Amino acid sequence: MPNIAIKRTATAVWNGDVPGGSGNIKTQSGVLDAGYSFGRRFGGDPGTNPEELIGAAHAGCYSMAISYELTNAGFPPKSVTTVASVHIVQDSTGFTIPEINLVVDAEIPGIDDAKFQEIAEAAKKGCPVSKALAAVPTITLKATLH
């Protein structure tokens, strides 16, 4: 694979104070152009929030990373589904993301579970989004092969 250097951008605009204000998040491609607010982030209001977007990025990146690793090891997957749960908590220092849980369900012909787990862990370490999120104290992985 050739060396690749790509820059992706997103823009967020916030209007007003935090409890009553609102904002908009937009991606360079235009695929995402969504509003967000305190209620969407910390309550049950419909809409997106930064943690959900981190989860989407991590799940998408991890699914591609493990598929790449599996294919290179001679086990091209039929399917890989990843769910990323991003936890945000408030403590005495403010808000933090202490944990992300990756749950992976994969269908891969011809591989045993031990090899699958080895590749799953390697993909977690090698995924560019996992690397970018290295400051998160705990990133767990539960990988299920069927």
Share of the chain above pLDDT 90, in %: 86
Domain boundaries, the chain: 1-48, 50-145
Condensed to tens digits (0 to 9), the pLDDT of residues 99-146 reads: 999 999 999 999 999 999 999 999 999 999 999 999 999 999 999 998
pTM higher than the cut 0.85: yes
- Backbone φ and ψ of 5, nearest 5°: -135, 110
Which CATH code is given to the segment(s) 50-145?
Answer: 3.30.300.20
Residue 141 CB-half CA count within 13 A = 23
CA separation for the pair 136, 121 (Å, rounded): 16
